[in-house]
């Protein structure tokens, strides 16, 4: 069933657990997340980024409709979120496409302008009943202007949330977007300090580069929403390469998209299970 992101995030925040959010690009990505949620019995947020929308000719509707259709009639709990939205026209389509939450990303702007733009976006989105995530401090790897060493200051984070009224905050604590190896080292003490300073749930971006044990530790130290994208694409592309290498004559896309979808379902299931497994005896 299609749930509201706010409910899944609030449930995780209140219980000190994590809620995973997966970025989707193709129909197979959507099916993989839905199948993994069904298989594991865990809720998940499905995210469509502005970049993914651009890939689909600027129209969010086809992929959003696929998420709604995948959620319909199933027991698994899925929510739809728009991710890294910088374009006001896309922000304004959030509710219309069936998403119940949006990350408004003005983090490329200087802090004062980020605060002003985010406050205005949050005011508008709250009027539509939407849950709003925003970002202070650039999370490394998002673009050439972003430095992997960037960190969010707890006092700045508290001020940002207070002045903008956002419902969740993405923070820079050591992860970096688009990593294909799980070698990122998170600053757990900083996560703890930010979560003590900030009243809203925290969001970890670039989680594909973070080992499962570190993701669990991050949740234990106060992280709530765990954004995962590249990991699905690594699984997808590895499976496509293996199928094509095995049979270079293949032309029917179902022959390689099927294994790609299965590989993503396994990867998503592993993440969902990892976030619920405890490291303590
Ligand atoms: O907003 C999306 C996430 O930050 C995904 O990052 O592709 O590095 O896992 P990732
Ligand atoms: Zn991100």
Does residue 146 have a pLDDT over 50? no
Give residue 279's pLDDT.
66
Centroid of ligand 1 to alpha carbon of 250 (angstroms): 31
pLDDT band at 142 (very low <50, low <70, confident <90, very high): low
Q: What is the best residue among 50, 52, 141, 178 to mutate for testing ligand 1's pocket, by most ligand atoms within 8 Å of CB?
A: 178
Say how far apart CA 44 and CA 29 lie, in whole Å: 13
- Measure the CA–CA gap between 206 and 225, rounded to whole angstroms: 11
In the block, residue with structure tokens 């990593």: 179
Quick one: pLDDT at residue 70?
A: 97
- Mean pLDDT, rounded, for 3-12: 98
Separation in Å, CA 234 to CA 6, 21, 178 = 29, 16, 10
The atom number, within ligand 1, closest to the CA of 227 reads 3
Place of tokens 């998503």: 268
Mean pLDDT of 201-225: 97
- Under the banding of pLDDT at 50, 70 and 90, the label for residue 138 is low
Using the mean position of ligand 2's atoms as its centre, give its distance from the Cα of residue 171 in Å: 10
Residue with tokens 């989105």: 125
In ligand 1, the atom with minimum distance to the C-alpha of 49 is: 1
Name every protein residue with a CB atom under 6 angstroms from any ligand 1 atom: 23, 83-84, 177-179, 205-209, 227-231
pLDDT at 148: 64
Q: Write out the H or E segment, with its range, that includes residue 156.
A: helix 154-164
* Angle value at C-alpha 48, between 12 and 68, nearest 5 degrees: 80
Is the confidence at residue 213, as pLDDT, over 90? yes
Tokens in use for 126?
A: 């709250």
Q: Are 106 and 86 in contact (CB under 8 A)?
A: yes
Q: Please confirm, yes or no, whether 83 is among the known catalytic residues.
A: yes
Rounded to whole angstroms, the Cα distance separating 70 from 31 reads: 7
Q: Does the structure show a pLDDT above 90 at 143?
A: no
**Tens digit of each residue's pLDDT (9 = 90 or more) over 17-49:** 999 999 999 999 999 999 999 999 999 999 999
- What is the reported pLDDT for 136? 84
List phi, psi (to 5°) of 78. Answer: -125, 145
How far, in Å, from the CA of 127 to the mean position of ligand 2?
A: 25
Pairing of strands 168-171, 131-135: parallel
Is residue 281 pLDDT above 80, yes or no? no
Question: How far is residue 184 from each of residues 32, 73, 214, 249, 268, measured CA to CA in Å?
Answer: 25, 38, 9, 39, 19
Identify the architecture of domain 2-274 in CATH.
Alpha-Beta Barrel (3.20)
Mean pLDDT score of the chain? 94
Instruction: Check pLDDT > 90 for residue 201.
Output: yes
pTM reported for the whole predicted model = 0.96
- The ranges assigned to domains in the chain are 2-274
Which atom from ligand 1 is nearest to the alpha carbon of 208?
A: 9
CA dist 278 and 281 (Å) reads: 8
For residue 144, what pLDDT is reported? 34
Distance from the alpha carbon of residue 246 to the mean position of ligand 1, in angstroms: 30
The residue whose CA has the least distance to atom 10 of ligand 1 is: 206
């Amino acid at each position: 069933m299609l749930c509201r992101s706010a409910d899944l995030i609030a449930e995780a925040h209140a219980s000190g657990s994590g809620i995973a959010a997966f970025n989707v690009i193709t129909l197979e990505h959507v099916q993989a997340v839905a199948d993994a949620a069904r298989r594991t019995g865990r809720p998940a947020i499905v995210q469509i980024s502005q970049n993914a929308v651009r890939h689909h000719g600027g129209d969010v509707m086809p992929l959003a409709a696929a998420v709604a259709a995948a959620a319909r009639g199933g027991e698994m709990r899925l929510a739809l979120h728009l991710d890294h939205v910088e374009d006001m026209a896309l922000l304004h389509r959030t509710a219309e496409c069936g998403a119940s939450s949006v990350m408004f990303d003005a983090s490329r702007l200087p802090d004062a302008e980020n605060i002003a733009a985010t406050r205005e976006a949050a005011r508008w989105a709250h009027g539509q009943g939407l849950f709003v995530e925003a970002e202070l401090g650039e999370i490394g790897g998002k673009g050439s202007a972003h430095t992997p060493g960037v960190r969010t200051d707890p006092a700045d984070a508290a001020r940002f949330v207070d002045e903008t009224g956002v419902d969740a905050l993405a923070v820079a604590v050591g992860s970096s977007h688009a990593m294909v190896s799980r070698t990122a080292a998170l600053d757990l003490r900083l996560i703890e300090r930010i979560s003590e300073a900030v009243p809203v749930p925290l969001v970890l971006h670039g989680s594909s580069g973070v080992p499962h044990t570190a993701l669990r530790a991050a949740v234990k130290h106060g992280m709530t929403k765990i954004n995962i994208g590249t990991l699905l694409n690594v699984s997808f592309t590895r499976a496509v390469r293996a199928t094509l290498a095995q049979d270079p004559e293949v032309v029917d896309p179902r022959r390689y998209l099927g294994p790609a979808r299965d590989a993503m379902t396994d990867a998503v299931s592993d993440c969902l299970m990892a976030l619920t497994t405890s490291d303590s005896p």
